[in-house]
Structure 1
Amino acid sequence: MTYKIVFFDIDGTLVNEDKQIPEDTVEAVRQLQSRGVEAVIATGRAPYFFAPLAERLGIDSFVSLNGAYVVYKGEPIFSREIPRESVEALVNHAAKQNHSLVFQGHSSYYANESSHPHMVESVSSLKVDFPGFDPHFWKNESIYQIFLLCEKHEEHLYDEVVPGLRYIRWHNKAMDVIPSDRSKAQGIEALLRHIGVAPEEAVAFGDGLNDKEMLKAVGLGIAMGNSHDELKPFADYVTTHVDEGGIRNGLRFAGLIG
């Protein structure tokens, strides 16, 4: 199979635990691009979290916010917000549990509580700017994703409370909240339709629980060596650790670079 496009997760895939991109990854992506293969970011992050990384890699196409907001060559081509009534129901229920929320639009994000310790700890791990404070942001803007700030033993408090939502843990103090029918795969499928490329002609790299659907939606799904153990069964191939040439070795396995 000749692959035409490669989708890359960010955290644990393009960047390591210190949020640094290994130099051999930069070189591998550039070599891929020099051969006429498109490189696309596919991440749970919002666009304002990865703009410097995309610029460094020369990537102007991305699937962001776990598939909710898709841009191809700088132009938005697909978006799907969380229904306003679902956001409101979550806001009301989280307030009863004394849990804070962070609302993500496509160009900015705001917390409904200022400097909550769970927010500070989880967002600090991303090495990005903290959100602004506006508890009513969700009433005036389209919301594509929400950080629910709670610990693992509290997850059961949200079981079947708000129909149509699902929760993906990415930090011991935070979960992504997205529509239950949404994933990176949905955004990837929208982008592939837009450019007329078959899923079988695509490759995807990931390492986290929100990459399961993505790895199964393409012709070749590659898990990083440092992947969550629950992800690896969904991959066609497991490459090496992000700091041990994982991207380079995966692209070589796919026959895309020398």
Structure 2
Amino acid sequence: MNKKLLFFDIDGTLYNTKKIIPQSAKDAIKAAREQGHEVAIATGRSPFFLKEVSDELEVDSFISFNGQFVVYKGQVISSRPIPLDVLQRLTKKAEENNIPIVYLDEHQMTSATKEHDEVRASMDSLFYPMPEHDAEHYKTTAIYQSLLYISEEQKPAFIEAFPELAFIRWHEFSDDVINHDVSKAYGIEQFIKHTDFTMADVIVFGDGLNDVEMLELVAQEGTSVAMGNAVPQAKEVASIVTDHVDEDGLANAMVKLGLLTK
């Protein structure tokens, strides 16, 4: 098999429901790398929040913030922070509606709200502490993603008010907010510009709503894999659907695709 470029989502793809990487997945990725394939991460997480995974898998290439911040072999190759004026308007509208908002830069997460049950619930789902309270931090550093704690009923008003932004549901209480023309698919396009790979060489693995564009794009020329636990929208556009993440879905797909032998 020709050398492939493999992109792995984290939550629900690399991480199982216990928030750990199954041994079968670790072994499969190690074997794929030993056979000459290149490994990268494609996640909605920030760089500081994927360090544990990248260290565990010895990966120094990643697409983070759903495509807003891309690193290849330790070097930043694409960076698309949310414009400050847009963040200021978003913050103002959130404040007017008593909606919590969290800001993510390359190094940390800060919150405009000191304490909120919905923010805490979402952080608990990630096994992450409450963000530091700092309502002014976003004004002095590049922010690549925001977490906006809106209900589905509130969401249309924000979509209408901010056509320059994309609102992607990641938790029952919260949306990821990024630039409207950026996604993991965009990140992959930027990534391959800096390598000798083509889209036909790419294989992606994902499960969530923020993986749909990536799975759909890569399926056109390469191969995209939706996990058995993936949302229906991801399964509909993927090249293949594998088993549940808790049932060795990642390793099974890699065997099926000929990336390694069982």
Instruction: Give the TM-score range, shorter chain.
Output: over 0.9
For the 8 Å contact 1:49–1:128, the answer to whether it is kept is no
Q: Within 5 Å, which residues of 2 pair with 1:75-90?
A: 75-90=75-90
**Gap runs ≥5 in structure 1:** none
Q: Report the Cα offset of residue 236 of structure 1.
A: 0.5
Match of 1:46 in 2: 46
Q: Report the Cα offset of residue 132 of structure 1.
A: 1.0
Q: Report the Cα offset of residue 46 of structure 1.
A: 0.4
Q: Report the Cα offset of residue 49 of structure 1.
A: 1.0
TM-score, structure 1 length as denominator? 0.97
Residue correspondences, number: 258
In 1, the alpha carbon distance for the partners of 2:136 and 2:14 equals: 34
For the 8 Å contact 1:3–1:203, the answer to whether it is kept is no
Match of 1:60 in 2: 60
Q: Deviations over 1:213-243 (max 9, x none)?
A: 1112220010000000121111000000001
AA of the residue aligned to 1:54: S
Match of 2:243 in 1: 240
In 2, the alpha carbon distance for the partners of 1:121 and 1:129 equals: 10
In 2, the alpha carbon distance for the partners of 1:234 and 1:205 equals: 12
Match of 1:153 in 2: 153
Q: Report the Cα offset of residue 30 of structure 1.
A: 0.7
Q: Is the partner of 2:205 in helix, strand or coil?
A: strand
Q: Deviations over 1:34-54 (max 9, x none)?
A: 111011000000011121111
Q: Is the partner of 2:160 in helix, strand or coil?
A: coil
In 1, the alpha carbon distance for the partners of 2:240 and 2:163 equals: 35
Runs of 4+ in 1 over 6 A off after TM superposition: none
Q: Is the partner of 1:182 in helix, strand or coil?
A: coil
Match of 2:118 in 1: 118
TM-score, structure 2 length as denominator? 0.95
Q: CA RMSD in A?
A: 1.2
Match for residue 255 of structure 1 among 255, 258, 261:
258
Match of 1:226 in 2: 229
Q: Is the partner of 1:204 in helix, strand or coil?
A: strand
Q: Within 5 Å, which residues of 2 pair with 1:85-164?
A: 85-164=85-164
Q: Is the partner of 1:21 in helix, strand or coil?
A: coil
Q: Report the Cα offset of residue 3 of structure 1.
A: 4.7
In 2, the alpha carbon distance for the partners of 1:254 and 1:189 equals: 22
Q: Deviations over 1:179-222 (max 9, x none)?
A: 11110011111111101210111000000011111112220010
For the 8 Å contact 1:67–1:186, the answer to whether it is kept is yes
Match of 1:183 in 2: 183
AA of the residue aligned to 1:22: P
Q: Is the partner of 1:159 in helix, strand or coil?
A: helix
